[in-house]
A and B are shown apart, each in its own frame.
Chain A
Amino acid sequence: MSERCAVIGIGQTKHSESRKDVSLAGLLREAAFRALADAGLESFQDIDAVVIGTAPDMFEGVMMPELFLADALGAVGKPIMRVHTAGSVGGSTAIVASSLIQTGIHERVLTLAFEKQSESNAMWALSPAIPFQPQLVAGAGGYFAPLIRAYIRRHDAHPDTGCVVAVKDREHGLLNPYAHLHLKQTLEEVKAAPVLWDPIRYSETCPSSDGAVAMVLASEKAAQGIKNPAWVRGTSVRTESTFRAHRDQINPQAGKDCAKHVYAQAGITNPYEEIDVAEIYVPFSWFEPMWLENLGFAEEGQGWRLTMDGKTRLGAEMPINPSGGVMCTNPIGASGMLRFAEAALQVRGMAGAHQVDGAKTALGHAYGGGSQFFAMWVVSSEKP
């Protein structure tokens, strides 16, 4: 990895419950053309390769969408590849794209991630009734609720933490014109919401969204003349097995290893001090404190205190998800890349109303499967 890689173009769709107005290809093209325009490029002809990511095929019921999307994304005659790592896919897709620049293979790579949740039913896709066993798991919430209960018990966390995150992220989302949910909610309203998977309330879950995000990644040469590129300072992907005996699912080793690896590349020794803003994958609000610990922003057992002390709000010491995050926008396959793209927007100073003042260094984070897959990058306004 000798070449520098910069984010020179970022585009996303307006996310919503159902983008019935566009086809899957149209949705992707909306994000792609915005990213091209942001990069000052006129057409797909300026792109050398395309890397796309989306959630498992069952989520949309479209097998191998990369095949029919090749011409929609101007990939004919070029390499196109698809990355596939469950919910973390948006992150690992951007990392595969960045490696094509860092290895010197290409000058400009278009990377996209997407999901049209309205065309399918992820809850159904995640809850199969397989022979030889009772059908128990009820969607992602059913899988993660017991882990959240275990986190609360292990660290005696304040029971309102999840609700406080929900209020905060929805407030942040109001500042993001692309966010799916624009909800002003009080803590009392969030706490009064029905419980879906005890202890997870409806208000503590992410929405189902249609949306796409695209980025143009470029070599140092191709980034010349671009205003405020975001420089990729480190990338990492880590994986662990789902059903290993004595596996810690609350604070997974793969997440810790991934963070350590990406910080080492970026020269970060104290993430709380040295990272100005983080966009992390929080599909259920309780995952904010859990990941704060996993990512080293807090000591183990202290993540919920950072949240409860208001440290993770926009304008506070360690702003987490100023875009509103997954709690406001969840096109599953795109959710990870949205974290990566929002991190890049922040260090480019282009995040608009949800901009963190003077942000120079940002973390983008994604996870997937049963907390098995992790993908992270650190981007900076300064060249590595």
Chain B
Amino acid sequence: MTERLSAPYRLHYAYTRSTGPVIGRFLDSLRDRVLEGIRAADGRVLFPPTEYDEQGRATTGEFVQLRPTGTVTSYTWVNEPRPTHPLDRPFAWALIKLDGADTAMVHAVDAGKEKAMKVGMRVRVRWAEKATGTIRDIVCFDPISPIIKTPVDLNYFVRPGEHQSQYLHALAEGRFIGGRCRVTGRVYVPPRGATPESGLPTEDEVIDLPDTGVLTTFTVVRIPFEGQKLTPPYVFGAIVLDGADVPIYHLVSGIPYEQIRMGMRVRAKWKPREEWGTTLENIEYFEPTGEPDAPFDSYAMHL
């Protein structure tokens, strides 16, 4: 069989168009980022404007300025844009009725993904940076969200006060201290400028406390959230140090989660001394001491 021949062939010619009084004005207005429809004989506003309506009746010549926003009345999704398409990524061809217009125009919506497209969705014109007086002065339409971003950014200094500072300085030396309530004698960790029981500062003389105690209760955090510093899952619990009457809260580790239990005797696992500062973060976590569990009644008043 003889070979079938083929050769590329390009027809190219720079045609011109006479746009007429209506389309011409419409395109010229686009240069100034102005959208103009035209009033039809029956009172409707046609956009884009035409010299005649779909019945062939002449339009009135009265131009009506429209807002650059509208509503999608129908669409089809384009997964693989062609070189001549207005966008180089997947987009929607949509019928868009501008606010104040009675007819829809075809244009592209840059919605990102098909799921974001919906009949009835609100869209806004994205203008081209450089005007050409063609329909390409409208690059495409962008979805309008009724939501705006309003970030808040507040900057504070945290000044922990006299009693808390004393406690934090002790932590920097690897020690726990508490303060005794002047009225009830109960021991608060940290010492307080005012105890909830008396309203008075704890006694001036602070009490040294060991880094051992009882895990009274706990939770395993498995939920991630914005701003979280630790990676779930992790366990934090209430630990009443031996000799104290209020719990402190810290991580519990060094043992599989399912073996952690209420009443477990625990001890602080300190970070290396060179990492210590004025913070409870000097302690990595509390871990089991291996001693027998405390009986429930011995810590039930701390729950």
Which residues of A are in contact with B by a Cβ distance under 8 Å?
Answer: 20-21, 61, 121, 123-124, 127-139, 141-142, 145-147, 149-150, 153-154, 194-200, 241-246, 248-250
- The verdict on A146 contacting B196 (CB below 8 Å), with A135-B230, A246-B301 known, is no
Tell me, yes or no, whether B217 is within 8 Å of chain A by CB: yes
- The verdict on A198 contacting B225 (CB below 8 Å), with A132-B158, A132-B280, A133-B279 known, is no
Ordered by A's residue number, 23 sampled pairs between the chains whose C-beta atoms are within 8 Å are A21-B146, A121-B226, A123-B225, A128-B227, A134-B230, A134-B250, A135-B230, A136-B251, A142-B219, A146-B217, A147-B217, A149-B219, A153-B217, A154-B296, A197-B223, A198-B222, A241-B196, A245-B187, A245-B195, A245-B245, A248-B301, A249-B303, A250-B303
Tell me, yes or no, whether B49 is within 8 Å of chain A by CB: no
User: In the complex the two chains form, is B219's CB within 8 Å of A245's CB?
Assistant: no
Which residues of chain A come closer than 8 Å to B278, judged between CB atoms? 132
Tell me, yes or no, whether B27 is within 8 Å of chain A by CB: no
Tell me, yes or no, whether B175 is within 8 Å of chain A by CB: no
B236-255 Cβ-contact flags toward A at 8 Å (1 or 0): 11100000011001110000
| CB of B200 to closest CB in A, whole Å | 14
A197-B222, A197-B223, A241-B196 are known contacts; what are 20 more A-B pairs with Cβ within 8 Å? A121-B226, A128-B227, A129-B227, A131-B279, A134-B250, A135-B229, A135-B230, A136-B249, A136-B251, A142-B236, A149-B217, A150-B216, A197-B219, A198-B257, A244-B197, A245-B186, A245-B197, A248-B303, A249-B303, A250-B303
Q: For the complex, give the distance between the alpha carbons of A232 and B178 in Å.
A: 47
| CB of B162 to closest CB in A, whole Å | 14
Report which of A138, A149, A244, A248 forms a contact with B223, defined as CB distance below 8 A. A138
B166-192 Cβ-contact flags toward A at 8 Å (1 or 0): 001000000000000100101110000
Report which of B146, B197, B225, B280 forms a contact with A139, defined as CB distance below 8 A. B225
Report which of B226, B232, B262, B280 forms a contact with A149, defined as CB distance below 8 A. B262
- The verdict on A139 contacting B223 (CB below 8 Å), with A132-B279, A146-B218, A150-B217 known, is yes
Report which of A133, A196, A199, A250 forms a contact with B280, defined as CB distance below 8 A. A133
| CB of B248 to closest CB in A, whole Å | 9
User: In the complex the two chains form, is A130's CB within 8 Å of B158's CB?
Assistant: yes
| CB of B164 to closest CB in A, whole Å | 8
Minimal Cβ-Cβ distance residue in A for B185: A245
Which residues of chain B come closer than 8 Å to A195, judged between CB atoms? 220, 222
Which residues of chain A come closer than 8 Å to B197, judged between CB atoms? 244-245
Minimal Cβ-Cβ distance residue in B for A120: B152
Which residues of chain A come closer than 8 Å to B257, judged between CB atoms? 198
Tell me, yes or no, whether B116 is within 8 Å of chain A by CB: no
User: In the complex the two chains form, is A136's CB within 8 Å of B303's CB?
Assistant: no
Most buried by B among A121, A128, A136: A136
* 10 tightest A-B CB contacts, nearest first: A145-B219, A241-B196, A198-B220, A245-B245, A244-B196, A146-B217, A245-B186, A150-B303, A196-B223, A136-B236
